[in-house]
Amino acid sequence: MSSRLDELFVKVQAENRAALIAYIPAGFPSKAGCTKVIQALAAAGVDAIEIGFPYSDPVMDGPTIQEAAEISLKGGTEACDVFAALKVASDTGVAAVVMTYWNPIEKYGVDKFAEAIAAHGGSGVITPDLTVEESSSWLTASSTQSISPIFVVAPSSSDERLAHVTSKAGGFVYAASVMGVTGARSSISVDAQDLVSRVRAVTSLPVCVGLGVSTRAQAQSVAAYADGVIVGSAFIKLLLNSNDEESGLEAVSLLAKELALGVREGR
């Protein structure tokens, strides 16, 4: 059974472009504000939305996403709010996934978590800190619920490792464009393109590049070789730096429209 995520990659391939994937933590800038941000992103032309599960020990997240997660956690965001945000995203018609560390899945209950993702319209889950070796319970649960287990690979991964990880993955492969934590950067690492071609050599799954894209020109350059361009910190920064909710939403919408043009100009 193909998910909305699978259908999205078929669609963008037919249009000869990359998908634009936006990341927003659940409960940020507030629970009600998160709903508005999701709707603004979808209306501005993003193809898929990643809902972040805010976590108190975010090893892979840079300062911007950490700050957003802290705001969200202070606002009392829990698993139910993550699933509610996922449903808001899915209801807009875009493909929707959750990005979470392993601890919240384990705490919630592996089977129960996969079930909730499917019940709220989610197509998959990105698990940045879950190794393939430790993922058997998650692979079983996600397979039962027909949701995609999305793994993160880095430039440091050997070819053998890439083949092993991607053989268990579904939906798409999340290629981290640089070593280290998330955050908008002035230039995207040259490692990203090399990593994408190495991943392509071992799997037919779409490859999406995350960590660092913040401008239309960067989106265009990544879209030239990747199947999807993932943007998170750039949107969050706009919301953190805005004077009020309305101007924050406006800024997010404007950037999303620019990035949507960027992913269409890459090829």
Active-site residue numbers?
Answer: 50, 61
DSSP SS3 for 225: coil
Q: State how far the alpha carbon of 42 is from the alpha carbons of 20, 47, 73, in Å.
A: 10, 7, 24
Please report, as a single letter, which amino acid is at residue 197.
S
**CA dihedral sign of residues 175, 180, 185, 187:** negative
Is 96 within 8 Å of 51 (Cβ atoms)? yes
**What DSSP string runs through 12-32?**
HHHTTSPEEEEEEETT-S-HH
Q: What DSSP designation does 146 have?
A: T
